[in-house]
């Protein structure tokens, strides 16, 4: 079995990848995650996933690298991780009572190959009251999460339905990740 490296410090991605029964190491690259002017969210997450994979591949040329990036898209805005309580509340106001898209870019690379894909899942959020927002913020769960929520946690109470990959919303679409690994012959 080839040496696999997950290019992420996300505990959620680590847990998801462990579900596949893979052995892997973790190495989180330091890359610029700035959004380019006019960049669509799908292009943004794919660009970051590829940049993370390339950065780690340079340091571990004989490894198979898995990298990902997840962001929300609503009204052509990219919603990443909240910088503050006010920022989280602003994001929740944008997604409250409506559907939004969660995009993950996934990249699998070797020294000779690089493949990437973007996966989109539509998530419906119930209308949030100010009390809902205050209560949810107080849990600490929104910190460090794209869109300031974790579908696998307390926020599940606010999500009546999703269309698409659940693991994508958590941060790593597993089915598509396996397909990419099979493409580079990392799995039989």
pTM across the whole model: 0.93
The least confident of 18-27, 123-132, 141-150, 179-188 is 179-188
Domain boundary assignment for the chain: 4-183
What is the average pLDDT across 92-121?
A: 96
Beta bridge partners of 77: 74
What is the full DSSP assignment across the chain? ---EEE----HHHHHHHHHTT---EE-------PPPTT--HHHHHHHHHHHHHHHHHHH-TTSEEEEEEEEEEETTEEE-S-SSHHHHHHHHHHHTTSEEEEEEEEEEE-SS-EEEEEEEEEEE-PPPPHHHHHHHHHTSTTTTSGGG--TTTGGGGG--EEES-HHHHHT--HHHHHHHHHHTTS--
Q: What's the mean per-residue pLDDT of the chain? A: 94
Question: What is the structure's pLDDT at 76?
Answer: 84
Model confidence pLDDT, tens digit, residues 118-164: 999 999 999 999 999 999 999 999 999 989 999 999 999 999 999 99
Active-site annotation, residues: 69
The least confident of 21-30, 68-77, 179-188 is 179-188
188 has pLDDT over 60? no
Question: What is the structure's pLDDT at 22?
Answer: 92
Model confidence pLDDT, tens digit, residues 47-83: 999 999 999 999 999 999 999 999 999 988 999 899 9
Answer yes or no: are the C-beta atoms of 80 and 146 closer than 8 Å. yes
- The domain defined by 4-183 folds into Maf protein (3.90.950)
pLDDT above 90 covers what percent of the chain?
91
Question: What is the structure's pLDDT at 50?
Answer: 98
């Amino acid at each position: 079995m080839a040496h696999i490296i997950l290019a992420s410090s996300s505990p959620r991605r680590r847990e998801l990848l462990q579900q596949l029964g893979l052995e892997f190491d973790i190495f989180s690259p330091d890359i610029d995650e700035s959004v380019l002017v006019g960049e669509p969210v799908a292009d943004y997450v794919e660009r970051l996933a590829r940049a993370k994979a390339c950065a780690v591949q340079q340091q571990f040329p004989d490894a198979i690298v898995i990298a990902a990036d997840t962001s929300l898209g609503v009204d052509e805005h990219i919603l990443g991780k909240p910088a503050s309580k006010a920022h989280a509340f602003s994001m929740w106001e944008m997604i409250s009572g409506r559907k939004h898209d969660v995009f993950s870019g996934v990249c699998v690379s070797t020294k000779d190959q690089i493949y990437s894909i973007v996966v989109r899942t539509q998530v419906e959020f119930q209308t949030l009251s100010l009390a809902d927002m205050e209560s949810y913020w107080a849990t600490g769960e929104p910190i460090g999460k794209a869109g300031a929520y974790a579908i696998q946690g307390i926020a599940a109470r606010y999500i009546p339905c999703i269309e698409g990959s659940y693991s994508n919303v958590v941060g790593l679409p597993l089915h598509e990740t396996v397909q990419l690994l099979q493409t580079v012959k990392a799995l039989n």
